Structure 1
Amino acid sequence: MMGALEKPMFQNSTLLAPGIAGAVAGLAVETGLYPLDTLKTRLQSAQGLHKSGGFKGVYKGLAPVAIASMPGAALFFVSYETAKALTEPLVPPAFVPVAHSGSAAIAELFACLIRVPTEIAKQRKQTYVGVDKRSSFSILYNAYKLEGIRRGLFRGYLSTVARDLPFGVIDIPIWEWLKEQVRRRNNGEVTSFQSACCGAAAAIVAGTVTTPFDVAKTRIILAEVEHTSAHSLRIQTVLRVIYREAGLRGLFAGCTTRVIALMLGSFVFFGVYEEVKSIVEKKLKDQGTI
């Protein structure tokens, strides 16, 4: 038997299960709950719900999101499980949630590299802004041509990170903590349904707290190039403008729709993730891969 120092900390097969499970879970959520996300985006846009399209065309922009959701979610869980495996042994049991928060933060930073360009194409199609009749590829190419990579394809990266990183830092540790409570009461077992319920509960808390950042991110992504400056696209500037124009109601625009979508999405996401991960791990064990 190899010594502890000689054992590789990770094998490709170890990360295969969370990668596949994350990809399937991401696809399931995006395709199933896309209409709710469209309505939330239109509620948060500067034009408002009806001028942004109302209840028509709620599946606009689905294709690129469905495609990108798979590598995005896979990258998130591979990053999360890797960071979690590295950090958990280094902290005492009382500080395990801190390790989970840090791991979720790292995972969000990586996942946003795929998520942000997808969000740009998706939200501009959802709200009929300027180039709504063009394909998602044309929207991204036009953004690149006008503003380059950083301000075009990755416009809103920091605001997306400002929304998703706090969300993950709150959501994932609550999900893990709730699962641990279930595990203690269920002879060490957590079913995919129970994990789904834990995920839904965690999403309610995290979704509510991070809504203002989501509103700011939406405004930044939807801002038209000709009428905006770099300063006006800063997160703090956008938040101040929204608060000045509409107060707390403006900062929490679309909150109910967003939280409902996140709750349902997290239920599906974590339930599918645990189920698929369990199936893949069983197959790998049967094959002697892990």
Structure 2
Amino acid sequence: MQANATVRIIPRKFLVLLAVALSAFAAPNTIAQQNRTRQQSASPMSPMAADAHPSFEVATINPANPNRTNGGGFIVGGHRLVIEGQTVNDLISFAYALHKKQIVDGPAWLETERFDIDGQADQPGVANLHQVQEMLQKLLATRFGLKLHRDKRDLPIYVIKVAKGGPKLAQSSENAYGLPTQSGHGQGSQQQRKFTNNSMSDFALGMQAYMDRPVVDETGLPGRYDFTLKWTPDNVPTSEPGAPPGIFTAVQEELGLKLEATKGPADVLVIEHVERPSPN
């Protein structure tokens, strides 16, 4: 990522343990849409050292303004991180790269009470997505008293499989160690996402931003691919000529894959303890 701008990042619902470049995937009416990329003028800064493990040197946490008119988001500017109007479930989902339905046994307020966080990393440079996630994991533990463990539970999920006729995916020109990216936009009633150097597990987790349940890769495809997906969200009526189909049809027709609704084992984070944030 170029470090010469303030960047609003997601997920995501999100999310894939990739790099900041992946943080732009978005979905209508979700946190992922709220966290679309925003470029602003700023002094050039270098990326944080790749082997750095930052924490928040200082962080202010306050209840969010209930009259906020925008959805808020995550904003990275230099080694400063500003989080606007997010629930604790949003924070955990982002920090651990899981769908919110994979966070279980938490109190109801995790999904209803929203917070603003303004913090600064204890190391110089612009943090990448891994480092932002690590900072949030530490903040959740120290200021929200979060304790959790990983488990597997049967949940309603979508699985991605290869459709009849085989995949319609181009092998990526990037090497296997290049950063996978997801970028795109909504135009009218349509959504378009461009995937570069994505594995199928990257694609699956990215798609969680648009789906109402976790998405699991069962394609068995080992490579990395470049492709674009265009679709019309199911909740958006359209009479535009030539509008793309809904997401399920688009995945099959454009990518040669299919999304199947089922119930099966999925990774979950089990909340053991959490509390409202400690005073500043």
With structure 2 as the length reference, what TM-score do the two structures score?
A: 0.25
Q: Radius of gyration: which is bigger?
A: 1
With structure 1 as the length reference, what TM-score do the two structures score?
A: 0.24
Going by fraction, where is helix more abundant, 1 or 2?
A: 1
